[in-house]
Amino acid sequence: MIARSWRGWTSPESADAYESLLKGDIIPGIEALDIPGFQGIELWRLDGPSEVEFVTTMWFDSIDALRMFAGEDYETAVVPPRARALLSRFEGQSRHYTVEKAR
């Protein structure tokens, strides 16, 4: 299994709007793609005094399944324009980990 991890940051004022966009539109849109080998997505949030960090981790059975989501250049982050508008900064590359042991 492959875990795809990515981080983005918002101002505290934009954090709730960004989280709502993810939960209400972006994540359901990814799930609706019904990509074979896609196992799910997690969203984590860490509130800080000057910015809020978000981490998404997506789970795929294989690199081939991951490529069906992100394309051949699968290391490049997939960040829709509506999300970019709410982010103050974000990682341009996603990280990919081989899951050696799951829960």
Band (94; pLDDT cuts 50, 70, 90): very high
Asked if the model's pLDDT at residue 103 lies above 90, the reply is: no
Give dist(CA 75, CA 4) in Å, integer.
9
Confidence (pLDDT) at 52: 98
Q: Is the pLDDT of residue 82 over 90?
A: yes
Domains of the chain, residue spans: 2-98
- Spatial distance between the Cα atoms of 27 and 54, rounded to a whole number of angstroms: 13
How much is the mean pLDDT over the chain? 95
pLDDT score of 68: 93
For CA atoms 8, 10, 12, 14, give the dihedral sign: negative
Q: Does domain 2-98 have CATH number 3.40.50.300?
A: no
* Whether pLDDT at 102 is above 80: no
pLDDT band at 101 (very low <50, low <70, confident <90, very high): confident
